[in-house]
Amino acid sequence: MLVRPVTEFNLYHYLNNKHRDLAFPLAQVFRRLTDNGEFAAIVEATRDAQ
């Protein structure tokens, strides 16, 4: 298994226009998951499971 990723890229989440009212709350959840380390833990668990 590689220690460092070959490449990295940003993920952008798109919402259907009818769900535009969810954009700000969703951004807040993603920010919270990133800030408290949960997002990194999910990514690491996913990598370990492969």
pLDDT in tens, the chain (50 residues): 667 778 888 888 789 999 999 999 999 999 999 999 999 999 889 888 87
pLDDT of residue 16: 94
User: How far out from the chain centre does Cα 9 lie?
Assistant: 11
Q: Tell me the H-state helices in 1-50.
A: 23-35, 38-49
**Are residues 26 and 15 in contact, defined by beta-carbon separation less than 8 angstroms?**
yes
The pTM for the full model equals 0.62
**Which residues lie below 8 Å from residue 15, measured CB to CB, with a gap of 6+?**
22, 23, 26
